[in-house]
Structure 1
Amino acid sequence: MRYVPGQTITRRYLRGEWLMWAQAMRVIRDDEDGLLLWQPVGGDFAKLVDADGTTAHEVSPDAMAAPELVDVGWLYYDVLILMPPGAAHSVWWFFQDGVFHGWYVNLESPYVRDGDAVETTDHVLDVVADAQREWRWKDEDEFAGRIGHPLYFDADEAVTIRTEGERLIKLIEAAEFPFDDTYTGFRADPSWPVPRFPK
């Protein structure tokens, strides 16, 4: 079943038994091209944090002493996220005060739907590209450190993940969809309420 434009759903990252990340997002479109979601600054956003403030970027969840999902609110940039069907990535457009600032390629497992939520598993490695399409890898050290961990990926899977990133980098360099001008002029309707987690 497809979601309805305007509907609020939750975008979740799972890692084994842990819920790592949750975003309350407004559905913009849901069709054969993918699920397009919007979250402005101030929208509900929660991440797994240990009692001492340590996050999953620093330590795997199984090594956390007292992990808790904490709603910290979405900060800094409004974000438009495209999750293509069956794809091992999502593409993010970042905006600040209505101005497009660049893209983010989040490497992740193909999403699945679960009621009013979509779920995926983050692959740690990401690609960041500014509005001029100058790109860089993100979290390479963390990615390398997770290879072989039972909650993450083995060496062969790591190659597949990086290969997907390299494929998207070629699209960035060629200014091909989704790294052309599509959605760079996106404007949210000012009457839209800030998305909150469904009760």
Structure 2
Amino acid sequence: MSFTPGQTILRRHVRAGTVTVVQPMRVVSDDDAGLLLWKPAGSEYANLVDADGKTQHELPIDRMRRPRLVHQAWRRHDILVLMLPEASHSVWWFFAESGFVGWYVNLETPYVRHVGGVDTTDLLLDVVIDPQRNWWWKDEDELAARVGHPLYPDADAADAARREGEHLIRLAEAGAHPFDGTHVDFRPDPSWLNPDLPAEWSEFPSVW
């Protein structure tokens, strides 16, 4: 199943059968180089929030009180996201009004396609890389706090996520693809409307 350039699909984070994030994104390309997706700041997404306003970053999802997906605006940066088949990560390019401002490596399970988009499970640990290819880990404390919880990575999965991140760090330090200047001058098709949540987005549980 291939997606069409310009098509809006849903990139979803799923954990133990619960959808925790829904990101409507515009397909830039879907080919041997990977699935490349675009999302501008100000467009819609949905995030799992509980009755007290806490997110999954603050509490394990099984401790959230009456959690539900809430519409929110994607803030701060436009993002270009590259997802490779069978890869345990996605690479994000961040853009501000001034242009490219850095990369982000989201460590996650290999994605699964469905009729509405793609699903993956976030592995919590991330890597932030600036335009000069300086890097730092993000959310190490969140991963450490969740290791051993039955809905989250165990110690072996956490170690594997770190090794995956270390591999991407080595690529960045070497200036190797995808950290070689690829896509840093990307501009979206000016005819594209914001990839917002479709009216029928809540019906997608039928394809989870």
TM-score interval for Structure 1 and Structure 2 normalised by the shorter chain = over 0.9
In 2, Cα distance between the equivalents of 1:57 and 1:144?
12
Q: Does structure 2 retain, via aligned residues, the 8 Å contact 1:33–1:85?
A: no
Of the structure 1 ranges 102-111 and 12-21, higher mean CA displacement relative to structure 2 is found in 12-21
Matched, 1:86 2:122: no
Question: In the superposition, relative to structure 1, how do residues 73 and 4 fare at CA in structure 2: closer, same or farther (>3 Å)?
Answer: same
Q: Is the 8 A contact 1:98 1:187 kept in 2?
A: no
Residue aligned with 2:23, SS: strand
Question: In the alignment, which residue of structure 1 is the partner of 2:187?
Answer: 187
Residues 94-122 of structure 1 show CA distances to partners (whole Å, capped at 9, x for unaligned) of 00115000000000000001112100000
Distance between the aligned counterparts of 1:103 and 1:163, measured in 2? 18
Which residue matches 1:119?
119
Tell me the residue number matched to 1:17: 17
For residue 76 of structure 1, what is the aligned residue in structure 2?
Answer: 76
**Uncovered stretches (5+) of structure 2, i.e. residues with no partner:** 201-208
**Distance between the aligned counterparts of 1:120 and 1:160, measured in 2?**
16
Give deviations 1:30-64, integer Å, cap 9, x for gaps. 01121000000121211101111111111111000
- In structure 1, the partner of 2:206 is none
Give the C-alpha shift of residue 197 in structure 1: 2.1
What amino acid sits opposite 1:117 in the alignment?
Answer: G
Structure 1: runs of 5 or more not aligned: none
Match of 2:60 in 1: 60
Paired amino acid for 1:153: P
Q: TM-score, normalised by structure 2?
A: 0.93
**Distance in 2, Cα, partners of 1:115 & 1:98:** 36
Pairwise mapping of residues 94-173 of structure 1 onto structure 2 (< 5 A)?
94-97=94-97, 99-173=99-173
The letter of the residue matching 1:20 is: T
- Distance in 2 between the 1:157 and 1:76 partners? 31
SS in 1 for 2:73: coil
Query: How far is the alpha carbon of 1:17 from its aligned partner?
Result: 2.5
Identical aligned residues as a percent:
57
Q: Distance in 2 between matches of 1:146 and 1:50?
A: 18
Q: Distance in 2 between matches of 1:80 and 1:7?
A: 15
SS at match of 1:11: strand
- Deviation digits for residues 112-146 of structure 1, max 9, x if unmatched? 01112100000000000111111000000001111
Could you tell me the TM-score, scaled by structure 1's length? 0.98
CA distance in 1: counterparts of 2:50 and 2:58, whole angstroms: 10
State the number of aligned residues.
199
- Deviation at residue 194 of structure 1 after TM alignment: 0.6
**What is the distance in 2 between the residues matched to 1:98 and 1:9?**
27
Which digits, 9 at most, give the CA deviation of each residue in 1:58-98, with x for residues without a partner?
A: 11110001101001111110000000111000000000115
How far is 1:157 from its partner?
1.3
Instruction: Give the RMSD, CA atoms, in angstroms.
Output: 0.9
Distance 1:17 1:182 in 2: 35
2:41 corresponding residue in structure 1? 41
